[in-house]
Amino acid sequence: MKSSKKLKPIASLAKQNERGAARDHGNVLRVLQQQENQLNELISYRDEYINTFNSAGANGISVIQYQDYSLFLRRLDDAIKQQRQLVTNGRADCDQSKSKWLEKRSRSKIVNKVVEKRQLNETRQQEKREQRESESQPGVSVRKY
């Protein structure tokens, strides 16, 4: 069996690994996008709530209403803080999955180049053999066009 054919299963496996890593990276990107969207929604909701609080405060509110607004704002701020941490972790996961994918991609390209070089060498060797065989046979002329 030719050495290029022996390497084809390895090249195929490297390509599968690359595709799997690319798929994983895509999933991590989608999760990060969802986390960022949720963070933006929380921030937007907090801003709207602050505007409502300020409007209500301008008309006068009771101490209990003020405490309720303040408590809810603190809870929103805590949720935003937690969501920011999720986004930070998600970005780190995204960087890691991207590195893994790029590594798998690089390996796949290297293996494919090795296979291509071996195929080229095998083709050249086959052509040389055929040339020698045709030259060694009497009465056969080789025309060049």
CATH topology of domain 3-130: Helix Hairpins (1.10.287)
Is residue 122 within 8 Å of residue 4, measured between CB atoms?
yes
Domain ranges of the chain: 3-130
Task: Supply the pTM of this predicted model.
Answer: 0.73
From 8, 68, 14, 76, select the one nearest 42 (Cα to Cα): 76
In the prediction, which pLDDT does 136 show?
A: 82
pLDDT in tens, 53-102: 888 878 888 899 889 999 999 999 999 999 999 999 999 999 999 999 99
